[in-house]
């Protein structure tokens, strides 16, 4: 782990965040996500959503083949990514990036081979959308518990306690109901 | 308009709503949208979002070539669709369908050639996602003002007044800030 780097400015090779357009309107905005001619587009595999309660964390996950193309149309999310690819120029790097509303809406691309997790850093429910390049296949992903010592990053939440049950890769918790929140 | 039908049970040929899976979780649910092997999938053109304030309406719109594949991961939306396709077995039909949380989450497919509009029928901001089969092209869509007499449906809102300005296809309004709401 000689090459360990961390903090807000660390970059991992192949991870890209790009600002996307939000077209405001009194009725509610239109928000871009992905087009067939976007630089990030390759193939369409599956589009789905993941909700996240305030402070909640999902992770760690590593995909062997799938590329994640993630936007946060509701709320604000902190993504933490860790590079264990043996031949990567950024091997050992921990990267953090925030994405979401109201002023940092964009598309985060995470290539395969990287560990990642994400946390809702807002006070309201958040929504993440993924337009992945392949369909869900449990055989091509791996998980680690959030408290794993294999990843040099410690999640913290104000309303949940990390479980010692390493068979589950989630925070063992009962999050309180979300505050009643507007979309952004 | 001899074949005019309206109301909750009217169906328009080619319009399909299908329930989708919501996988609940204390951290926040995972919600399906569209897969490359879904019956609705043909090609990937563009994925984007449209927010809608409580009571707000967007419409009328008609696409000449684009198929809309719509889900409502946040809130509850009423879609109203009107069939003016000359050779359609449901010519003249007005169809209404609600879609969204918490108990009616699914994928609404609207083929080209149909007028449609949609309204947030909840008390919180709503979010619609579209995974369309082609990229945005203003040349392949048409609009009509919401008050148009060409479509036998009258929108009503409790906090906005339909404008007489027929050059704009929106409700002329200033919606109040949304109530502070959870995702569902």
- Whether chain A has a CB inside 8 Å of the CB on B4: the answer is no
Residue A173 has pLDDT above 60, yes or no: no
Report the pLDDT averaged over residues B120-128. Answer: 94
How many CB atoms are closer than 10 A to CB B40? 15
Please name the residue that has the structure tokens 């599956």: A46
Q: Which residue has the higher pLDDT, B159 or A65?
A: A65
Whether A3 has a pLDDT exceeding 70, the answer reads: no
Name the residue facing B30 among A32, A48, A56 (closest C-beta).
A48
Partner A contacted by B87 (CB < 8 A)? no
Q: Name the residue in chain B with its Cα closest to that of A135.
A: B35
When pLDDT is averaged across residues A78-97 and rounded to a whole number, the result is 97
Closest B-chain CA to A173: B26
A73 and chain B in contact, CB less than 8 A: yes
pLDDT of residue B109: 98
Superfamily per CATH, domain B16-143: Jelly Rolls (2.60.120.10)
Domain ranges within chain A, ordered by starting residue: 16-142
Subunit contact A44:B48, Cβ cutoff 8 A: no
- How far is B66 from B154, CA to CA, in rounded Å? 25
Class of domain A16-142: mainly beta
- Residue found under tokens 């007044």: B161
> What's residue B182's pLDDT?
61
Q: Peptide bond before A60: cis, by omega within 30 degrees of 0?
A: yes
B44: contact with A, CB 8 A cutoff = yes
SS3 content of chain A, % helix, strand, coil (to 5): 0, 40, 60
Give me the residues paired with residue A109 across strands.
A16, A69
Taking only the tens place, the pLDDT of each residue in B23-67 is 999 999 999 999 999 999 999 999 999 999 999 999 999 999 999
- For residue B74, give the nearest of A26, A47, A127 by CB distance: A127
Percent of chain B with pLDDT over 70: 80
Chain A positions in Cβ-Cβ contact with residue B180 (cut-off 8 Å): 124, 179-182
In sequence order, what are the beta bridge partners of B117?
Answer: B80
- pLDDT grade, residue B183 (50/70/90)? low
For residue B156 the two structure tokens come to 């009503």
Query: Among residues 139-168 of chain A, which lie with CB inside 8 Å of chain B?
Result: none
Q: Average per-residue pLDDT in chain A?
A: 86
| pLDDT, position B173 | 43
A78 burial level (CB within 10 Å; 0-12, 13-18, 19+): middle
Contact status, residue A169 vs residue B171, Cβ threshold 8 Å: no
The pLDDT of residue B164: 38
d(CA B127, CA B135): 20
Please give the pLDDT value at position B10. 83
The pLDDT of residue B160:
47
Chain B's closest residue to A72, CA to CA, is B49
Model pTM score: 0.87
DSSP E strands: which ranges in chain B? 16-19, 22-23, 30-35, 46-52, 57-63, 68-74, 76-83, 94-100, 106-110, 114-120, 126-132, 141-143
Residues in chain B with CB shorter than 8 Å from the CB of A36 are 43-46, 135
- Reported as a single tens digit per residue, the pLDDT across B71-99 is 999 999 999 999 999 999 999 999 999 99
Does B47 reach chain A within 8 Å, measured CB to CB?
yes
Give alpha helix (H) positions in chain A: none
Query: How many CB atoms are located within 10 Å of the residue A49 CB?
Result: 24
Q: What is the pLDDT of residues A128-164, one digit of tens each?
A: 999 999 999 999 999 999 999 999 999 986 654 444 3
Test the A interface: residue of B28, B59, B145 with most A CBs within 10 Å: B28
Nearest residue on chain A to B59, alpha-carbon basis: A27
Site from A22, A66, A181, A183 to mutate, B interface, most B CB atoms within 10 angstroms: A183
- pLDDT at residue A174 is higher than 80: no
Rounded-to-integer distance, Cα B108 and Cα B70, Å: 5
**What confidence tens digit (pLDDT) does each residue in A113-130 have?**
999 999 999 989 999 999
CA distance A40 to B46: 12
B29 → chain A, closest CA residue: A51
Q: According to the model, what pLDDT value does residue A10 have?
A: 83
Q: What band does B170 get if pLDDT is binned at 50, 70 and 90?
A: very low
Q: How far apart are CA B166 and CA B125, in angstroms?
A: 26
pLDDT score, position A143: 97
How would residue B156 be classed by pLDDT, with cut points 50, 70 and 90? confident
From chain A, pick out residues whose CB is under 8 angstroms from the CB of B26: 53, 56, 173-175
Please state, in angstroms and rounded to a whole number, the distance separating the CA atoms of residues B38 and B36.
Answer: 6
**Between residues B161 and B138, the one the model is more confident about:** B138
Per-residue pLDDT at B163? 41
């Amino acid at each position: 782990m000689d090459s360990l780097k961390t903090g807000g400015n660390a970059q991992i090779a192949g991870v890209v965040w790009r600002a996307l357009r939000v077209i405001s309107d009194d009725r509610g905005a239109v928000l871009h996500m992905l087009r067939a001619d976007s630089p990030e587009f390759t193939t369409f595999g599956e589009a789905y959503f993941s909700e996240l309660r305030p402070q909640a964390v999902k992770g760690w996950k590593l995909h062997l083949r799938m590329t994640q193309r993630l936007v946060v149309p509701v709320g604000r999310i902190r993504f933490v990514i860790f590079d264990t690819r043996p031949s990567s120029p950024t091997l050992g790097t921990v990267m953090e990036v925030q994405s979401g509303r109201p002023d940092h809406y964009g598309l985060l691309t995470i290539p395969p081979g990287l560990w990642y997790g994400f946390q809702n850093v807002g006070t309201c429910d958040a929504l993440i959308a993924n337009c992945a390049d392949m369909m869900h296949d449990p055989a091509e992903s791996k998980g680690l518990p959030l408290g794993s010592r294999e990843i040099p990053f410690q999640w913290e939440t104000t309303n949940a306690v990390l479980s010692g049950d390493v068979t589950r890769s989630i925070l063992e918790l009962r999050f309180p109901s979300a505050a009643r929140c507007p979309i952004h």
